[in-house]
Structure 1
């Protein structure tokens, strides 16, 4: 143990009682972690001259905070603990030391009234001439805005602070823009969405890595941040399984929802045995490959293929290449990446030609008469020779499909024009879809 390294106990509002590593300077304990790049916790405020001043948190007995949401030291514990878990997650899972890969820490700065907080949540702030890169978060008592009546407290959660740490990686490694970079630069709107999604994806993975008994892991973003405020103050937390915008469309360029939806489908799937069902945009099922593989694919794409102007189309190609690097071209993992992107309406070319993807044969438009039985056998090419599963979405009421055989049958019960999407998937998750109209008179 280094001379100034001291095991400490912290009492956080979000994290509960947790271990920390601090430093002893010979007179007092400092919220500074010598084992993780001297990562330190500060309180920012305005001094008598009106300028912002950062003061390092110190303590006399090395037991930090009282666990209440009104205590500044307790929130500093939450922030320090979350950043510690983020550091350890990237070091132990991805082999990355510090946010920059070279062992540098992101210090934690709690803001008090009079010092604005960017974006209303813990935020990564780039290095400037007058200060190093850091994470800022709100301290108890800060108002969010002059037209808002609530107080902004208790936001130093595992997923939000972990996400800010990950945004530091996204900015440093790939040059992905932050929100401050996008005004007046529409070409950066989708890259910002990819960066914001990266933050939430890895913030969630940090939450799972920590497996904290108070802030339990889930696929909700900022759920404890939301719960810490008066009822009705905030909208519901973002759900990766069912984000408000879960399908990519060109008119919503700054939305991170499709990327979060993609990751959930890749990791968990559309209809898991455990966890929340996640409807797909194309009606096709997706079977997840697990958090570990999904996160490793996104991390490799981030560090090897993402760039400043990576948009959704480029992110799809990057993650396919990453999956091929890690697990092989046209492997189950590769095919699941492709299926998950298609399931959020992001499609495109195959960056690695070949494979044995089955293709549904389009049966052409169909006519039927209400209350008259029909039967339609779907066909599909199957170059891989693996068992196939058929799906159909949008069938006229009264009709069903046999998933194993692809036979659509039944008796239509309602007249109308129906757009039917049919698809086929093999056991390596390779899949394809096509659509036709079914007119019921």
Structure 2
């Protein structure tokens, strides 16, 4: 499934021993599942008796740094055990698990994320996470949907051609240009709506009205032809380049010159599209390894900023959260600059595992600032973990996650030319008056974002419904009321007029990351996000901690209550 996002913003004997150990481990997990009788919605309880760090963090709950081979072995173990795991979970005979991701905590707790199939068909909204203790007992299972996966028949009454025509018509209604179905619709089980339904997933290509590539997924009932859901596979955002001064770049020797290829960060590379809207782009080369002039008329300048932003983001996730690359496998993505002409946006696309940047209005302001790069790469992290659907409240949480970690990367970078703040796109004069694209302390200051949760917030564009989580993160980090942080003045209200005490941004980041990677699923909404972050705070700091209470207070401050 393609996703794109932009800003608006050994010897044989040894191998045999390892295989035997893996099989034994799989059997232990299955036995534990059977013994505990795990059901949907059970929480991963805080580890008791765990050591804490000097800062109060439960050390064992922090993510472990996994090497690529270690992660790959965990994935193989899970794959070996998947059939027995499905049986132990009580899944039906037609259901199978597909291993997607694995996260291991420092104390040995493992969180394995699975997708699901039914009679060979993908189940959209069927994802789940199994939380296993260091001793191999299961602490809980988090499911995207609690309903039993079953449909009366997998024979469709609506033809694929009919579903495709309807999907293309829907895309054209959104003013998409050159809208055509990207291949035949795939038959799926749509479970994200609560009741499983046989459906078609049609992906419509072309170009959105602002020039962004189109990957519109239209979910159609295979019995009636009725549209059940739609979401955009290209996750979007807007901004222009803010140069970060003289910076160090990871480059590689190539013949007599150099290329923008960062061997220290999974081989991440930056390429030049030269105005094209497809392809990998051409390699940037330089004879003396001195890149760019700091001016937009030098094509290398945008590449410098994009390459630098990608390096900062890689380093942040590895050094702060122990994640080795976007997908956690140590492999670099790549960045493409100079997309199209006059394109005022940037986006992440799963299909190419890449970030793409436009050159802005009149091709004079490339969208390659630190926070834009971090925002786009974070869409890739979200896709590789929770897979939050890019529509409704889950879409708002997807966008907010990118804003939250964009701010975190910016603070972590400590770049004097672009210091950290709680403003989104503050260096990109997208409004023409010097104001930022979004505000985390009071999201409604942008004229469209929601400060607090309400019944209709999921009906907003995801860049506006994201305001609820952005506001929560600010309150959790800094607290409510007027204050100045890093030279920037903020004044954050609360929905109920209550006073919220911040727990500090470093702790808030860790809580959100743990919730994202271990408790969020594709269908998580704001109330489920509240429960997930409370679980994460309990894991990390304890259920009686100030941090746990802070999470509870911050959600109340944005009207997300039990």
TM-score by length of 1: 0.66
State the alpha-carbon separation in 1 of the partners of residues 420 and 317 from structure 2.
Answer: 17
State the alpha-carbon separation in 1 of the partners of residues 275 and 376 from structure 2.
Answer: 24
The answer to whether residue 479 in structure 2 is matched with residue 269 in structure 1 is: yes
Identify the residue that residue 261 of structure 2 maps to in structure 1. 32
Match of residue 418, structure 2, among 215, 224, 230: 215
Alignment of 1:27-426 (within 5 A): 27-45=256-274, 52=279, 54-113=281-340, 120-127=344-351, 132-139=352-359, 142-143=360-361, 153-178=365-390, 188-226=391-429, 231-232=432-433, 236-244=436-444, 245-253=450-458, 254=462, 255-271=465-481, 274-275=484-485, 276-348=490-562
CA separation of 1:168 and 1:298: change in aligned 2, threshold 3 A: same
State the alpha-carbon separation in 1 of the partners of residues 363 and 559 from structure 2.
Answer: 38
Instruction: Write out per-residue CA displacement over residues 50-91 of structure 1, whole angstroms, 9 at most, x where no aligned residue.
Output: 964611111111000001133221111111111101000010
- Residue 544 of structure 2: SS of its match in structure 1? coil
State the alpha-carbon separation in 1 of the partners of residues 307 and 382 from structure 2.
Answer: 20
State the alpha-carbon separation in 2 of the partners of residues 14 and 347 from structure 1.
Answer: 41
CA contact (8 A) 1:154 1:225 kept: no
Between 1:258-267 and 1:100-109, the stretch displaced more is 100-109
Rg bigger for which structure?
1
State the alpha-carbon separation in 1 of the partners of residues 275 and 302 from structure 2.
Answer: 19
CA separation of 1:13 and 1:59: change in aligned 2, threshold 3 A: farther
State the alpha-carbon separation in 2 of the partners of residues 310 and 13 from structure 1.
Answer: 34
State the alpha-carbon separation in 2 of the partners of residues 125 and 56 from structure 1.
Answer: 19
**Deviation at residue 230 of structure 1 after TM alignment:** 7.9
CA contact (8 A) 1:301 1:322 kept: yes
**Deviation at residue 215 of structure 1 after TM alignment:** 0.9
CA contact (8 A) 1:28 1:59 kept: yes
State the alpha-carbon separation in 1 of the partners of residues 278 and 264 from structure 2.
Answer: 32
**Deviation at residue 239 of structure 1 after TM alignment:** 1.0
State the alpha-carbon separation in 2 of the partners of residues 292 and 124 from structure 1.
Answer: 26
CA contact (8 A) 2:382 2:516 kept: yes
State the alpha-carbon separation in 2 of the partners of residues 155 and 137 from structure 1.
Answer: 6
CA contact (8 A) 2:313 2:374 kept: yes
**Deviation at residue 151 of structure 1 after TM alignment:** 5.2
- Residue 108 of structure 1: SS of its match in structure 2? strand
State the alpha-carbon separation in 1 of the partners of residues 392 and 364 from structure 2.
Answer: 27
CA contact (8 A) 2:291 2:300 kept: yes
State the alpha-carbon separation in 2 of the partners of residues 280 and 121 from structure 1.
Answer: 32
| Count, aligned residues | 308
- Residue 204 of structure 1: SS of its match in structure 2? helix
State the alpha-carbon separation in 2 of the partners of residues 230 and 51 from structure 1.
Answer: 28
CA contact (8 A) 2:427 2:436 kept: no
List runs of 5+ in structure 2 lacking aligned partners.
Answer: 1-240, 445-449
**Deviation at residue 312 of structure 1 after TM alignment:** 0.6
State the alpha-carbon separation in 1 of the partners of residues 278 and 262 from structure 2.
Answer: 27
Instruction: Write out per-residue CA displacement over residues 266-312 of structure 1, whole angstroms, 9 at most, x where no aligned residue.
Output: 00110365432201111000010111000000000000001111111
CA contact (8 A) 1:13 1:74 kept: no
**Deviation at residue 44 of structure 1 after TM alignment:** 1.2
CA contact (8 A) 1:13 1:67 kept: no
CA contact (8 A) 1:270 1:279 kept: yes
Identify the residue that residue 396 of structure 1 maps to in structure 2. none
State the alpha-carbon separation in 2 of the partners of residues 46 and 20 from structure 1.
Answer: 24
- Residue 21 of structure 1: SS of its match in structure 2? coil
TM-score by length of 2: 0.52
State the alpha-carbon separation in 2 of the partners of residues 53 and 198 from structure 1.
Answer: 27
CA separation of 1:243 and 1:200: change in aligned 2, threshold 3 A: same
**Deviation at residue 251 of structure 1 after TM alignment:** 1.4
RMSD of aligned alpha carbons: 2.1
State the alpha-carbon separation in 1 of the partners of residues 482 and 242 from structure 2.
Answer: 32
List runs of 5+ in structure 1 lacking aligned partners.
Answer: 1-11, 144-149, 179-187, 349-441
- Residue 339 of structure 1: SS of its match in structure 2? helix
CA contact (8 A) 2:515 2:535 kept: yes
CA contact (8 A) 1:247 1:258 kept: yes
State the alpha-carbon separation in 1 of the partners of residues 280 and 401 from structure 2.
Answer: 31
State the alpha-carbon separation in 2 of the partners of residues 107 and 84 from structure 1.
Answer: 11
State the alpha-carbon separation in 2 of the partners of residues 165 and 324 from structure 1.
Answer: 28
